[in-house]
Amino acid sequence: MSTDIWVWIAALLSLAIFSYLYKDNPVFRFAEHLFTGLSVGYMIVLMWNNYAYQYIVIPISQQRWITLIPMALGMLYLFRFVPKLQHLMLIPIAITLGIWNGWSIPVVIEADLFKQMQGTMVNTTMFQNPWDPHNGLVVGLLVVVGVVCTVLYFYFSREHRGPLKVASSVGIWFVMIGFGASFGYTVMARMSLLIGRIQFLFTEWIHLIK
């Protein structure tokens, strides 16, 4: 077993959190409150050191007065709590939105729309090995059918009848398969977290796993 006091504290708090799986109890609530308090305290220090100190205190102490402009703009957010002057809060929001939209719109359209449409298209390389599960003609056609049918499922300007109904019914199957894949991955992710904690308990605490 470990002789490190911090490993023991971490292990006992992990067990305290796991105790909730049986039922709610004071030990779990203690660990929960401790975790919440520590996290908030840690984040405050982290935010002060990494943001406020670095980007406000240091520049101002070095007499870089231009820092006061973004700082003043940021502080306009605080007018959220002054009902008569709430509209001032819109200034930093407008500036942020303007800058981000200017930065993002052209590249997002290219990356998320044009490149994705390009990725959906059947191309000549797919004919070389039609059954390739990653870049074959069959899977390429499946992607085209899947994208078109899924988009049609979300087309609500016309009643889903006739061919549109058939296409949207196919589309919902693709959506469900997508959700199923996401769910499977989510299970794996959650289990990975549990495994990580159990590995810690059995490796670093009681040294049962070498």
Point out which residues bind another protein (CB under 8 A). 21-22, 46-47, 50-51, 54-55, 103-104, 107-108, 110-112, 115-116, 118-120, 134, 143, 178, 181-182, 184-189, 191-199, 202, 208-210
**How far is residue 208's CA from residue 210's CA, in Å, rounded to a whole number?**
6
Q: How far is the CB of 91 from another protein (least distance, A)?
A: 20
Q: How far is the CB of 73 from another protein (least distance, A)?
A: 15
**How far is residue 95's CA from residue 68's CA, in Å, rounded to a whole number?**
16
Q: Are 26 and 32 in contact (CB under 8 A)?
A: no
**How far is residue 201's CA from residue 10's CA, in Å, rounded to a whole number?**
9
* Total number of residues shown for the chain: 210
Reading the block at residue 26, the tokens are: 């004071």
Residues 201, 202, 203, 208, Cα dihedral to 10°: 150
Nearer to another protein, 79 or 200 (CB): 200
Nearer to another protein, 6 or 22 (CB): 22
Nearer to another protein, 12 or 44 (CB): 44
Q: Are 164 and 155 in contact (CB under 8 A)?
A: yes
**How far is residue 175's CA from residue 182's CA, in Å, rounded to a whole number?**
11
Nearest to 151 by CA among 115, 106, 116, 109: 116
Q: How far is the CB of 122 from another protein (least distance, A)?
A: 12
Nearer to another protein, 54 or 129 (CB): 54
Nearer to another protein, 151 or 187 (CB): 187
Q: How far is the CB of 29 from another protein (least distance, A)?
A: 19
Q: How far is the CB of 84 from another protein (least distance, A)?
A: 32
Nearer to another protein, 8 or 48 (CB): 48
**How far is residue 105's CA from residue 59's CA, in Å, rounded to a whole number?**
32
Q: How far is the CB of 117 from another protein (least distance, A)?
A: 9
